[in-house]
Structure 1
Amino acid sequence: MWSRREDERLLTGGGRYVADLVVPGCLDAVFVRSGVAHGVLSAVDCSEARRVAGVVGAWSAADFPSGLHVPYTPSAGLSAEEAVAGREWPALVKERVRYPGEAVAVVVGEDRYRAEDGAAEVAFQVGPLPAVVTPRAAADDSVRLFDGLSNVAFQGAAGEPIEESVWRRAAVVVEAEYRQQLLMPTPMECRTILAVPGGDRLTVWSGHQAPHRLRGQLAALLGWPVDRIRVVAPDTGGAFGSKSAIFPEYVVVVFLAVLLGRPVRWIEDRMESMLTATRGRGQDQRVRLAADADGQLLAYELTIDADVGAYPHLGAGLPMQTARMATGPYRTPRVYATVRSVLTNTMATYPYRGAGRPEATIALERSMDALARRLRIDPAELRRRNLLPPESFPYRTPTGRVYDSGDYGAALDLALETLDYAGWRAEQARRRGDPSALPLGIGLSCYVERSGGEPGGLHEFAGVEAREDGTVIARCGSASSGQGHETTFSALVAEELGVDQVRVELVEGDTDELPDGVGSFASRSAQVAGAALRQACELLVQEARARAAGLWGLPVAEVAWSGGAVSPARGGAAMDLGELVKATGPLRVEDRFESDMGFPFGAHAAVAEVDPELGTVRVLRLVAVDDCGVVLNPMIVKGQAFGSAVQGLGQALYEGIPFDDDGVPRLANGLLDYLVPTAAEIPPITVKDTCTPSPGTPLGAKGAGESGCIGTPAAIVNAVADALRLADPGVLRMPLTPDVVWRAAR
């Protein structure tokens, strides 16, 4: 088992984050934010702020160029030009506040303390307007966020409409409504950016998941060629999807650094993050699921009203991920999913760990349990009857996805065996016969997800360089935010080249090191970036053999490669990489690798005990069985599965943004108001896996980082519904707070 190379450095204070960087003459930026969710900005006065000692400057939108706004950059179907048209996202509010915490001014000081003092002196007025914070409330356009434009910014569909006769002929039809609450990604390190001008170039440091994307966006903003900008992602304290975009604060910081000719830094604090960082999930869903008398699925219809926040720039098309994955792991002949992306008075919705797939899984799996109750079929048996069999792959779903490989039944069987499903069912029956015993429920969730990204983004750049001292530099266009790239990628390169892992150094997250790169998101690191590094290693070996052949006057076919060295195939002294470089000059290869999508899958199972009088839920056991194809590092994959399961637990039981009537989040006490699971709330979790290699990548790997967020929530909610024996699954709305459970029990 490999040890993690990063851990000693990170756990002993040796990490280097943006806030740790010491830059002479650096200024700190502080943003002045609206306390109103929706309103008209009538005046901003920065004059008193400019008089504060140590304040270098203070600006409102009136002091900035009119074109300074968040640029729209098309990316992987997350938004669309037509959704953004007419809906400018200003870097600082010009006339109208559209979400709580939107920045109305910025103050720059010699340090953060002086900038904060200056920010306290900025005066402004906002005339409140009615606010809407759910897509259902906003969709009727009674409160419009942009004059003359509908709040519905995008509409889409996957699959084909289903005739009403299908529903009429079905033996049973389950109908339900679900609400997927808005969530906060809540990484340990909030958003960061440091812009350092120098000569005719600008170096930007940011804890970012996609440095090359950020470079392109900033170049477009400034009207510069991309080679004038260098973006570096140093150590990053988590992201979960929330750090792969450009934000208003980034635009302002970069503009001020160029304007002032001095380094400018912004470090988001926790309260800022809770108010203005991106949101995840946020869907109102309506479902219809039809089956025959034997439980064979006939049709599934999913209608989505999605909250995409006040500006559609980041995620207007994101709910299409839910629509395209609506089929789940089942042989449902007719599936139709429709999407409306609706603007609300909240910060923009953006990918959060799972990004569209948890929403699809929760809707379908909760409906599967409701269908099982209606048919009086065991939920596990109902799923077995409908899971796609191994021989059906590759399988084109009714919504247009092409699943690569899988043995869905094996994952379900392993989850049931690991949980001791029969034993818990027996305990449940015993409790139901004992009036004094607390109700017990068992919940299941089978899922399939998409990993690697969408067409147009299924590629990565990688390079490998051998040096005279025998070391190997591996370069990759990704950027780790805690996934263990230093460990996994270094070991992968060492294994491919046959050298000791200590000789391999990984370089990533720096746009000067590679001509292009895509980044780390969508569970793509091992599947796409890992395969790119493998391809680069193969090219390096080919080049090394060709050089050796030239040195020795042999055909390339008569030069062997083994253990990081070349040698004549018919016998003779071997020459290692370092010696070859000394003899023939620098040896470096780079290439772009193209991947297919991957479709990881799994089955999660939960046992929960419910107190109907108190509304409390105690998860007694959670089992997560995931299949991400070939596992490159079992320790890291298990950690990813465990961590994401904990986040799935948070969505099911604890996390959700509470809003006042005026649309402002009730988060005055920080993480005391937005609950995330701590060690005390984590139940016994067993993580296991099956292995179905992906035929679409040379490593056979599929994405591994998002499984728990996708499979766990539905399993827990289904367990609670099972304990309470609910006929209407829609009465349970996440998070399952004691109030929600108490009301559902009645």
Structure 2
Amino acid sequence: MRSEVAHGLLQAVDCTAARDVPGVVGAWSAADLPDLPRVPYTLLAGLSTEDAVAGREWPALVKDRVRYPGEALAVVLGEDRYRAEDGAAEVTSTIDPLPAVVTPSAALDDCVRLFDGLSNIALRGESGEPIDPSVWQDAAAVVEARYRQQLLMPSPMECRTILAVPEGDRLTVWSGHQMPHRLRRELAALLGWPTDRIRVVVPDTGGAFGSKSAAFPEFVVVAHLAVKLGRPVRWIEDRLESMLVATRGRGQDQTVRLAADAEGRLLAYELTIDADIGAYPHLGAGLPMQTAWMATGAYTTPRVHATLRSVLTNTMVTYPYRGAGRPEAAIAIERTMDLLARRLGLDPIELRRRNFIPLDAFPYETPTGRRYDSGNYAAALDLALETLGYEKWRAEQARRREDPDALPLGIGVSCYVERSGGEPGGLHEFGSLEVHEDGTVTARCGAAPSGQGHETVFPALVAKALGIPEAQVRLVEGDTDEQPEGLGSFASRSAQVAGAMLQHAATLLIDEARTRAAELWDLPVDEVQWADGTVHAAHDGSAATSLGDLVKTTGPLRVEDRYAAGMAFPFGAHAAVTEVDPDLGTVNVLRLVAVDDCGVVLNPTMVHGQAFGSAVQGIGQALYEGMTFHDDGVPHLASGFLDYLLPTFTEIPPIDIRDTRTPSPTTPLGAKGAGESGCIGTPAAIVNAVADALRIADPDLLQMPLTPDSVWRAARASRHQEGVR
């Protein structure tokens, strides 16, 4: 049973009537469960601090104060879902409403505090060094702008799920989750148990995009009740529930300033971020540091300074969402590059080319502390323009501008760099390879897939490394009993980190097989070779054995290890052509080209699918998606996806997916992350194309999502400004 208000003081919750509903097992408020643990939080290195969380406990059930709409006031357990919902409808509550703040700008002055005695600013951070005022004063051109990165819903195909089953002195938890080992640790800590008393199993999961990587309030309640009652307890989130209380993504107010000399060489870039982190700072507080660290983009700007304030608001918490801070950085710099090009009278393509980090500069240390491993940004942009037919579209644009009856046409580009694999301390994965007597190999991995294609890519990788047929390799993931340690699937790390771990394990397996064969044949190890799944004597090949026979002769063969890869920096260039009707405000994307570089491509089909799906989500951010709120802070979600629009098959334009391949030197496979590219590169390309079509010089007029109403208003305001000038 959830709060219908966004902010208020809880006076009472009455579950009496709910307990009398037939089929209801029990109903509880926070007062009825005094030993109910709080929601755990995670402090990621460099991303958050104890101070951000101190005094800001996230209760699994509201104790005294509602801080976001839909926050859970009570839980009702029924013999089935329908009886439980009937019971929840009978729970009553009394809440004294308080004013709600749903944007950082509204929350910054602390007039409405979410926690008494504590500021709404939970964390401050910066990257780079402050820029001397003389740089701005002496520059030939300085542009300034403000951007709003709207709150988004990750909207995976499958909502959140958890089933907790007590089995003797253990608890087995089934959940669609990105980090099963983290969930096991957190649940064990909440229950005061050792981790070996909990098993977490992640079956096939219908999408995540960052939204399934925590122990949520509902998970805490389910595990607690399962143990308390000694019976299985299950919660499956429905779609409206998910839209109300699942995690949010993005949510930043940005102010930028960019300076260049007369030839268009960048001199300085300043980015100020006020981030909406929701009602509780459990991970979102430090997430905007990703934006600050990646502020430099693809350019050799000598001075870059980014500052941030993470601000509490009366919304559900902000968590990583596909790209997690990097789309925000790319949109800010790429929109501003177009603004600067207009100020200097340069083609936006030429401005970018003049400022790209050159090939011979890698590895490149950015002013914000990142170390880019490798890149060829000009090659990606050239391929994008060639695929798009840039000159042809510029000619068509010129023709239309001479025709008063033609709809305006615009061309936009966006060049991006992102970080994949995770931050230091989280760039490792655990796994093992085990050979059976029939010659098959079981590969175990600490990852947990949610649609990335691990079951296709990882067995093929192991089979290639060992020189055996793919059919002989079986992959096991998402089970903490099968694989005791692991990190999971997030931050575009599957190929780069988990794949590298399996490659490493294959090397260990080959070494162990050669060692055993050498002992068996009484030969030095260096005289035993490996080829196509067999070991054989190097001198004449007379002694040879297959993997299966080796196990039959020498006993079980299993290798396991923890392997760490390096951080990598994928990049790309996206280009869009849009047709805009200024009288209706409609935007028609005629063409979208996405050129991405994820280093060595392990499976082209999988990479293509990841790029395409991510680009569609980027289109959603640019044109359709965004949380809106009533005056009382409750979101407009009464009609579900009629109130929160997602691009469907009908709205998806022709998308050309291309790639360049610049191997990463920091991982043995040379692979970089591929899953987040479209969310990072596509939005700015589309917005830049619309601004180009309407010749909008003031970026404040054009904020995402570019709904017909916002585009219509921007077109009218731009015409008015042109008329005044």
TM-score norm. by structure 2 comes to: 0.98
1:278-333: CA deviations, max 9, x gaps? 00000000000000111000000000000000000121000000000000000000
Contact 2:43 2:283 survives alignment (8 Å): no
In the alignment, the residues of structure 2 paired with residue 383 and residue 730 of structure 1 have an alpha-carbon distance, to the nearest angstrom, of: 22
Question: Which residue in 2 is equivalent to 1:400?
Answer: 369
Q: Are the equivalent residues in 2 in contact too, given 1:281–1:356 (CA < 8 A)? A: yes
Equivalent pair of 1:393/1:406 in contact (CA under 8 Å): yes
Q: CA deviation at 1:76?
A: 4.5
Checking the alignment, whether the CA contact within 8 Å between 2:36 and 2:221 is kept in structure 1 is: no
Q: Look up the match of 1:288.
A: 257
1:222 to 183, 191, 197: 191
Aligned to 2:31: 62
What secondary structure, in the 3-state scheme, does the structure 1 residue paired with 2:315 have?
A: coil
Which blocks of at least 5 consecutive residues in structure 2 are unaligned? 717-725
Native 8 Å contact 1:245 1:314 kept in 2: no
The residue number in structure 1 matching 2:649 is 679
CA contact (8 A) 1:608 1:620 kept: yes
How much does 1:66 deviate?
5.0
Query: Which residue of structure 1 lines up, in the alignment, with residue 720 of structure 2?
Result: none
Q: Give 2:699's match in structure 1, choosing from 729, 734, 737.
A: 729
Amino acid at match of 1:736: L
Once the two structures are superposed, the pairs formed by residues 180-199 of structure 1 within 5 Å of their partners are 180-199=149-168
Question: 2:595 maps to which residue?
Answer: 625
Query: Does the 8 Å contact 1:76/1:453 carry over to 2?
Result: no
Of 223, 240, 256, 1:254 maps to 223
- Choose which of 443, 451, 460 in structure 1 pairs with 2:420: 451
Distance 1:518 1:668 in 2: 37
Partner of residue 619 from structure 2, selected from 643, 649, 669? 649
- 2:518 aligned to which of 537, 545, 549: 549
> Does structure 1 conserve the Cα–Cα contact (< 8 Å) formed by 2:497 and 2:565?
yes
Q: Work out the CA distance in 2 between the residues paired with 1:78 and 1:247.
A: 20
Match of 2:673 in 1: 703
Residue 471 (structure 2) pairs with residue 502 (structure 1): yes
For 1:97, the aligned partner's letter is V
Equivalent residue for 2:429, pick from 441, 452, 460:
460
Please say if 1:744 is aligned against 2:714: yes
* Paired residue secondary structure (2:37): coil
The question of 1:43 aligning with 2:12 is answered yes
Q: Which residue of 2 aligns with 1:19?
A: none
Q: Secondary structure at the match of 2:73?
A: strand
**In the alignment, structure 1 residue 639 sits paired with structure 2 residue 614:** no
Q: Quote the residue 2:497 is aligned against.
A: 528
Indicate the residue corresponding to 1:310 in structure 2: 279
Work out whether 1:592 is the aligned partner of 2:562.
yes
Picking from 605, 608, 612, the partner of 2:578 is: 608
3-state DSSP of counterpart to 2:353: helix
For 1:282 and 1:658, how far apart are their aligned partners in 2?
Answer: 12
Give the % identical residues: 78
**Aligned with 1:204: secondary structure?**
strand
- Gapped regions of structure 1 (runs ≥ 5): 1-31
Aligned to 2:73: 104
Distance 2:619 2:44 in 1: 30
Q: Deviations over 1:329-388 (max 9, x none)?
A: 000000000010000000000000000000000000000000000101000000000001
CA positional deviation for 1:67 = 5.7
Equivalents in 2 of 1:72, 1:735: separation in Å?
31
Q: What SS does the corresponding residue of 1:557 show, helix, strand or coil?
A: helix
Offset at residue 514 of structure 1 (A): 2.0
Paired AA for residue 9 in structure 2: V
304-313 vs 508-517, which moves further:
508-517
Q: Secondary structure at the match of 1:688?
A: strand
Q: Does 1:661 align with 2:634?
A: no
Q: 2:139 aligns with which of 156, 170, 195?
A: 170
Q: What amino acid is the match of 1:492?
A: L
Q: Show CA shifts across 1:563-613 (max 9, x none).
A: 111111122142111110000111001001111100000000000000000
Q: Distance in 1 between matches of 2:538 and 2:23?
A: 71
Alignment of 1:435-450 (within 5 A): 435-450=404-419
Task: State the shift of 1:427 in Å.
Answer: 0.5
Cα offset, 1:515, TM superposition:
2.6
Aligned to 1:33, what secondary structure does the other structure show? coil
Opposite residue 254 of structure 1, the aligned amino acid is A
Equivalent residue for 1:90? 59
What does residue 6 of structure 1 align with? none
Letter in 2 for 1:179: R
Q: Which residues in structure 2 correspond to 1:344-383 (within 5 Å)?
A: 344-383=313-352
Question: Which residue identity lines up with residue 397 of structure 2 in the other structure?
Answer: Q
Question: In structure 2, what is the Cα distance between the partners aligned to 1:337 and 1:470?
Answer: 55
Assess if the C-alpha contact under 8 Å between 1:208 and 1:243 holds in 2.
yes
Q: Match for 2:72: what amino acid?
A: A
Specify the SS of the correspondent of 2:130.
coil
The separation in 2 between residues aligned to 1:110 and 1:379, in whole angstroms, is 62
Q: 1:80, CA displacement in angstroms?
A: 2.2
- The structure 2 residue matched to 1:581, chosen from 530, 539, 551, is 551
Please give the root-mean-square deviation of Cα atoms over the aligned residues, in Å. Answer: 0.7
The offset of 1:78, in angstroms, is 4.3
Q: Is the partner of 1:52 in helix, strand or coil?
A: coil
Which one-letter code corresponds to 2:56 in the other structure?
Answer: R
Length-normalised TM-score, structure 1 = 0.95
